[in-house]
Amino acid sequence: MKTLVTLPLVVPLAAAALSLLMRRFLVAQRVLGITAATASLGIALALVVRVDGTGPAVAALGGWHPPLGIALVADRFAALMLVVAAAALLGVLVYAVGQGRVDTAMPGFHPVYQVLAAGVALGLLTGDLFTLFVAFEVMLIASYVLITARAGAAHVRATLTYVVVGLTASALFLATVALIYAAAGTVNLADLAGRLDGVSPTIRAALGWLLFMVFGIKAAIFPLFFWLPDSYPTAPSPVTAIFAGLLTKVGVYAMIRTQTLLFPSDEPSQVMLALAGLTMVVGVLGAIAQSDIRRILSFHIVSQIGYMVMGLGFFTVAGLAAAIVFLVHQIVVKTVLFLVGGLVEDTAGTGNLAKVGGVLHRHPLVALLYLPAALSLAGLPPFSGFVGKLALVQAGFAASQAPVVAVSLAASILTLFSMAKIWAGAFWGQPTGEDCRRPGAVGLAATGALVVASLAIAVVAQPLLGLATRAGADLLAADVYRAVVLGG
């Protein structure tokens, strides 16, 4: 069991090291990368089954019992996220290999991609606040390298925005860790949960908000998100897709983890709900103002983050469960949409809605992949987004928070508007522009597999929601987490 907890981290790291050694052999790197990603998915699946059956698993690294050493903690939430993250990482990697552009143009792509995977796994599993900082740094440096890989003169500015904001957020994170250590004398999350009880409520709340906002920069909530739509669209499409699918969500994960464990609340947080509502509305309005597929989708990343923060803000099991289901759905669907955006750009040479058109007539398969993902994003049944949205709405009514629920519903009609804009602009109409190339079969298959995954989320919604509800209950039972990590 202990090994199973460390494997999600060990496999990509080992793959990264091996891949680095084989950097002259692209085919070997590709095979290795896809093998490692597949193995990671299998490991994550095994982990979630085990953890759901027998409770959270803890691996104290080096045999040092926490809080002395660093513990990797796989509870239901972490294990579930690992599964979805691994699926997205695998799908995008296959797509990238099929497209065959990003890894030929950038020699270090495969090792760095695996490092990104390792960083994500570490961020999800770590039971230590400082190690979370390190995990973010691992993820960020990998993302810096990936986003700048092919940046020409037109995009270098955007990548600078990304890197500078990332560095600023890291410095603020480190300062926050320092302040929390000064207040409570430990960086172990489980230990902190107990020791923060001895801190004055005002200081504790202030530290809670500080940490919330620090993760808010990574998660791109209002008013901290402006860097995202400027920078994400400029990377090669597989890179943008995995960023869109995963990186902000790890921020949300960290937010949910730390808020429930360290700064629990018995009642809905009005500040959080207000920020969530603003994030949804401002994000979706931003999407409506855009005319390029990637930029539209980038603003939707922001908007949808608001829904998850809303689920957290209720501070109920149902709210957390809904947020978790929504997270799972978002990771898959957002990845799919960006991959489809990449396919459109491949075939039409541009993602500008004024210049592209009629993809439905030229490449109906691409349209067929877009439609369920777009409807899902807009929360229409019977797709995964509907499940997430309905769970959130029900949790919201149960927590007597009708206003923010109304805002979320209004934002979802605007999302539909924006998805229809892409459909009408890119897929309908006379085919315009030169038909650059046919979408590759591998890319279509990888995207299709993720579409099937998103449909599957809807089909298995009940077991998923059951798991998410148990995960949410775990999150609110902070004592259990403490006991498992410190007392086990």
Partner 1 sequence: MAIFPSTHATLGAPATAGRRALHLRAGRAVTLGLLLAAPFATAMVLLAVPGRARKTAAALALLPLVGFTAWAVASAGPLLSGGEITLALPWIPDLGVALDLRLDALGLLLALVATGIGSLVVVYSAAYLPAGIHLPRFMAYLVAFAGGMVGVAAADNLFGLFVFWEITTVASYLLIGFSDDKGSARAAALQAVLTTSAGGLAMLAGCVLLSRQAGTATLSAILAAPPSGAATTAALALILLGAFTKSAQVPFHGWLPAAMAAPTPASAYLHSATMVKAGVFLLARLHPGFGSDPIWAPVITTVGLATMVLGAWRALRQTDLKLLLAFGTVSQLGFMTALLGLGLVHAALAVLVGHALYKSALFLVVGTIDRTAGTRDLRVLSGLGRRLPGLLAVAAVAAASKAGLPPLLGWAAKEAAFAEILTVAAWPVVILTVAASALTAAYALRFVWGAFATKAMAPDARPLGAGVLPPAPGLWAPAALLAAASVVLGIAPGWVDRLVQAAAGVPGKLVLWPGWQPALAASGAAVALGAIIHLGRTRAAHLQAAGERLFRSLRFPTADGTYRRSLEGLNRLADATTGTLQHGSLPVYLGVILLATLGLPAAWWLAGGAGMPAPPLAHRPAEVALGLLAAAAAFGAARARHRLTAALFLGAAGYAVGGIFVLYGAPDLALTQLLVETLTVAMFAFVVARLPRRHEEARLPWWRALRVGVALAVGAVVTWAALAVGGGGGGEASAAYLEKAVPEAGGRNVVNVILTDFRALDTLGEITVLVVAAMGVAGLIAGARVASGREEDPR
Partner 2 sequence: MSLVLALTAGALFAAGTYLLLQRLLTRIVVGLGLIAHGANLLLLGAAGRPGAAPIITEGGAAYSDPLPQALVLTAIVITFGVTAFLLALAWRSWALTRSDAVEDDLEDRRIARLGRSGG
Minimum Å gap between C-beta 292 and partner 1 is 13
Minimum Å gap between C-beta 210 and partner 1 is 4
CA–CA dist 363, 385 (Å, integer): 25
7 binds partner 1 (CB under 8 A): no
- 144 vs 209 by CB, closer to partner 2: 144
Q: Which of residues 400-419 bind partner 1 (CB under 8 A)?
A: 405-406, 409-410, 412-414, 416-417
Q: Residue 66 — left, alpha, or beta (φ > 0 → left; ψ -120 to 50 → alpha)?
A: beta
408 binds partner 2 (CB under 8 A): no
Q: Which of residues 426-445 bind partner 1 (CB under 8 A)?
A: 428-430
- 83 vs 118 by CB, closer to partner 1: 118
177 binds partner 1 (CB under 8 A): no
Identify the CA nearest to 110 among candidates 193, 16, 42, 190: 16
Task: State which H helix or E strand residue 275 sits in.
Answer: helix 270-289
Question: Which amino acid, 446?
Answer: A
Q: Residue 37 — left, alpha, or beta (φ > 0 → left; ψ -120 to 50 → alpha)?
A: alpha
Q: Which of residues 215-244 bind partner 2 (CB under 8 A)?
A: 230
CA–CA dist 458, 387 (Å, integer): 7
1 binds partner 2 (CB under 8 A): no
Contacted entry of partner 1, partner 2, none for residue 217, CB cut-off 5 to 8 Å set by kind: partner 1
Question: Which amino acid, 244?
Answer: A
- 175 vs 436 by CB, closer to partner 2: 175
Question: Which amino acid, 62?
Answer: G
Contacted entry of partner 1, partner 2, none for residue 480, CB cut-off 5 to 8 Å set by kind: none
Mark 359-388 with x for binding to partner 1 (rule: CB under 8 A) and - for no binding: -xx--x---x------x----xxx---xx-
- 16 vs 42 by CB, closer to partner 1: 16
Q: Residue 55 — left, alpha, or beta (φ > 0 → left; ψ -120 to 50 → alpha)?
A: left
Contacted entry of partner 2, partner 1, none for residue 165, CB cut-off 5 to 8 Å set by kind: partner 1
Residue 207 CB neighbour total at 10 angstroms: 21
488 binds partner 1 (CB under 8 A): no
Among 1, 160, 406, 424, the residue binding partner 2 under the rule CB under 8 A is 160
455 binds partner 1 (CB under 8 A): no
Minimum Å gap between C-beta 259 and partner 2 is 22
Identify the CA nearest to 244 among candidates 353, 341, 350: 341
What is the residue whose two structure tokens read 């955006």? 341
User: Which structure tokens are listed for 251?
Assistant: 């921020």
- 181 vs 428 by CB, closer to partner 2: 181
Which range binds partner 2 by CB under 8 A, 12-20, 98-106, 290-298, 419-427? Answer: 290-298
68 binds partner 1 (CB under 8 A): yes
- Percent helix, strand and coil across the chain, each to the nearest 5: 80, 5, 15
Minimum Å gap between C-beta 179 and partner 2 is 7
Contacted entry of partner 1, partner 2, none for residue 107, CB cut-off 5 to 8 Å set by kind: partner 1
CA–CA dist 150, 146 (Å, integer): 8
- 42 vs 435 by CB, closer to partner 1: 435
439 contact partners, CB below 8 Å, separation of at least 6:
343, 346, 347, 363, 365, 366
Alpha carbons within 13 angstroms on the beta-carbon side of residue 128 total: 19
424: DSSP letter:
I
Q: Are 175 and 50 in contact (CB under 8 A)?
A: no
Q: Are 402 and 287 in contact (CB under 8 A)?
A: no
- 90 vs 374 by CB, closer to partner 1: 374
Q: Which of residues 118-147 bind partner 2 (CB under 8 A)?
A: 130, 133-134, 137, 140-141, 144-145
CA–CA dist 86, 36 (Å, integer): 10
Which range binds partner 1 by CB under 8 A, 237-245, 346-354, 355-363, 434-442? Answer: 355-363
Q: Which of residues 283-342 bind partner 1 (CB under 8 A)?
A: 285-286, 288-290
Q: Are 426 and 341 in contact (CB under 8 A)?
A: no
34 binds partner 1 (CB under 8 A): no
Question: Which amino acid, 441?
Answer: A
Positions touching partner 2 (CB under 8 A) are 130, 133-134, 137, 140-141, 144-145, 148, 151-153, 156-161, 163-164, 167-168, 170-172, 174-175, 177-179, 181-182, 187, 230, 289-290, 292, 295
